[in-house]
Chains A and B, each alone.
Chain A
């Protein structure tokens, strides 16, 4: 694995409040392909962020971000919202969002080099 210069710098963080929302396409993917499918993961392990917040942490639409709340953290894909909502991140209701706690959750979000964890990995991490 090639190390990049940015990995040696502390990634800038942004404090946000996370709120969950329902997504019909994600519910459909769950029913059609199951919760362990790639289709479901791609529509679930995401966070919608304000364009200003994306700039603050130095990432662009589609980059992975680490979300840290009290005691728990998870890596998901950041998506740029069309509307403005600085300081608020929206996540679809799923195990990737629920693992962070009861909503609304106060958290920090920062750039990440890690891959999005699959459900099995996420849950096995929460056991250890």
Chain B
């Protein structure tokens, strides 16, 4: 048995037998079986590991405005060391898509575990997320198909799935109700839904009848769950407002569909921590930890030297000044991680390799600085 780190569900029932991966989804199988390995590099020339770490130290020791980015695809132990290193050199740490987690940690919205969803949830809303494409086993293990303690009839009778999204997603195809949001008009949809929850006919461009029907379904929920896409364009304050209104008339919980397998952990560790707040564009050194910054940011927006620590070849690693390859958490390096619902999970190592863990690399950097 192993824990799959292909997504934040951290499925612990995956088996690896004779090189074959059993019971993992399409993403998990590809994640466990394949590596796009990189070599240690300095100035885009292949070097040995010691030289790459020395190159990184050289950049970090001269940095005046360092920024660390990513951390969502690293084991908890690496994140802890990364935070200590950031504190030592006064670096800012940037993580992305942690808005809903922040609201959960601040007790602004009610949440639950995935086991609670399996056992009790009767109304499940997929809000601007498509788990069939991002967290493929969510529906079969927890959210929709399984029988639970209070949901013995499963999806056939006991559960209602609803999608609220900008497009008709694959997940929408199994939902009883599908509502399409117009791009940029998410907050209007929430306002209309809140009116509906108060039995008012909403003043909206959306189909009023559909909104009232949705409000009626949500109000009848015994145990409702909203799976919220973390890249959702809906303003955070609108989500909090909706959750407050829902919990006045019903019982609703929210769970963020986090990208990366350990984003929840770094968000919790950084919660309430003072940050130097250096802007990414002003940084003279950017350390990417398990994160492909250039996938989402054009090169011209980066001015500092770039260090990449990653198990795989990425766009950022091709442009980085220093590249340090590392082992992948839960594959060739053991550790721990926090599932998308906040449950801590131990990650055993399932494969021998010569690669060193990112925790060990961060430790070497911390001790040498």
Contact = CB atoms under 8 A, between A and B. Distances in A.
A119 B315 contact: yes
B314 A19 contact: no
Contact of A123 (B136, B184, B294): B294
Nearest to A88: B183
Interface in A73-102: 83, 85, 88, 90, 93-95, 98-99
B296 interface: yes
Nearest to B298: A126
B169 A24 contact: no
Interface in B18-49: 26-27, 30-31, 33-34, 36
A115 interface: no
Contacts, number: 87
Judged by DSSP, the binding face of B is: loop
Nearest to B181: A19
Contacts of B136: 24
Nearest to B297: A98
B298 A99 contact: yes
B119 interface: no
Contacts of A33: 36
A20 B166 CA distance: 9
B36 A34 contact: yes
A31 B31 CA distance: 6
Interface stretch (B127-135, B244-252, B351-359): B127-135
Contacts of A119: 315
Contact of A24 (B132, B168, B297): B132
B130 A90 contact: no
A119 B318 CA distance: 11
Contact of A23 (B33, B133, B231): B133
B233 interface: yes
Interface string A52-91: 0000000000000000000010000000000101001010
B314 A35 contact: yes
B130 A22 contact: yes
Most buried by B among A23, A104, A120: A104
Contacts of B296: 95, 98
A10 interface: no
A5 interface: no
Contacts of B294: 95, 123
B110 interface: no
B273 interface: no
A21 B130 contact: yes
A1 interface: no
A14 interface: no
Interface of A: 17, 19-25, 27-28, 31-36, 72, 83, 85, 88, 90, 93-95, 98-99, 103-104, 119-120, 123-124, 126-127
Nearest 5 CB-CB pairs, A to B?
Answer: A104-B183, A31-B30, A126-B298, A34-B36, A22-B133
Given A19-B166, A24-B26, A31-B27, 8 more contacts: A24-B134, A24-B136, A35-B314, A88-B183, A95-B294, A104-B166, A123-B299, A127-B299
23 contacts: A17-B183, A19-B166, A21-B133, A22-B133, A22-B134, A24-B134, A27-B30, A27-B133, A28-B30, A34-B313, A35-B314, A83-B168, A88-B183, A93-B231, A95-B296, A95-B315, A98-B296, A103-B233, A104-B184, A120-B318, A123-B298, A123-B319, A124-B299
